[in-house]
Amino acid sequence: MKLGALQLDRHLQQGLAPVYCISGDEPLLVQEACDLVRRHARAAGCEERLVMHADGGFDWNSLLREACGLSLFSQRRLLELRLPTGKPGDAGGKALQAYAADGGGDNILLVICGKLDAASQRTRWFKALEGVGVIVQVWPLSLRQLPDWITGRMRQAGLQPSREAAMVLAERVEGNLLAAAQEIEKLRMLRGEGAVSVDEVLAAVTDSARYDIFGLVDCALAGEEGRVVRMLDGLRAEGVEPTLVLWAMAREIRQLASMCGEVEQGAALGQVLARYRVWEKRKPLFTRALQRSQRRDWLAMIRASAKIDRCIKGLEAGSCWDELLQLALSMAGRKMTETV
């Protein structure tokens, strides 16, 4: 039987299957699905948990021996098999088929693996596990799904975020669910339960440095050249990696190049801002930036970003911090003289 990650909890409340196979390449969601199985297995009497790592030298016969073995501590055990590649090989495939055929006694088998491709899902061992147990395939969240996931997660923590607060947190974590979960926990610890505004999220996720990277980007979009110079100097003095500064600026530049292209082709600015999910508080920044620079300017900044990346990696001569300053000032509206 196949289940989605959101269906797993309800299924477990109705009773345990003998086998669970949880796969996917989203670490937090895989971990939480596994934690659900562990918690219900423990409540069902599996007081002992045995973890096996199916690496290159793994003895697959040990899985079958453990399934038949007796525990000194409990009648039932949770046998946790970690299979990162999702490819057990010939010996592993036969062992998993044999386990499924035998049933594993009163034990529960939890197989944890990476994303399984279509070929793996057609194998005999996969079909055998599916026949006697539950397959849970965890899929990464899309950027459109992320704000809703963050909203739900914050509510579980007793927080009541505004829609824009969830959107800005989604933007800041760049699809990293583990980072999002950590920021939500930090918010809960810092301010307790209750309503959460955009400003509170921004204050919580701002870098611990006195000058933060996202603040630099916003100053550049606002056209505040003097503050851009001071903030970039501050970031450099505090030892912030230039790679992070470039990443933050280049991300906005690429998006603005695409948005500007649509505006120049006749699309309404408001519709473009909505389509790119620019949250309300940043709309004035994006509007100013799009009005003062043309698409060819943003494309020149993309090329300059590539040059800075080469400088940081030592593949091209030049001072990456000097180049970052020129790039930030270009974002603020100063015309760029290309040297690439």
pLDDT digits (tens, 9 = 90+) for 167-205: 888 877 767 788 888 888 888 887 788 998 888 887 777
Q: How many CA atoms lie within 13 A of 99 on its CB side?
A: 32
Do residues 327 and 217 touch, judged by C-beta distance below 8 A?
no
Convert the pLDDT of each residue in 131-169 to its tens digit.
999 999 998 888 788 899 999 999 999 999 988 889 888
Q: Which CATH number fits domain 213-331: 1.20.272.10, 3.30.210.10, 3.40.50.970, 3.40.50.300?
A: 1.20.272.10
Provide CATH 1.10.8.60 ranges for the chain: 146-205
Whole-number pLDDT of residue 73: 55
Q: Quote the pLDDT of residue 207.
A: 43
- CA 328/CA 264 separation, integer angstroms: 23
In the chain, ranges of CATH 1.20.272.10 domains: 213-331
CATH 3.40.50.720 fits 2-138, yes or no: no
Residue range 146-205, CATH number: 1.10.8.60
Task: For residue 2, count CB atoms less than 10 angstroms from its CB and return exposed for 0-12, middle for 13-18, buried for 19 or more.
Answer: exposed
- Structure tokens belonging to residue 11: 């299924």
**What mean pLDDT is reported for the chain?**
86
Q: What is the pTM of this model?
A: 0.60
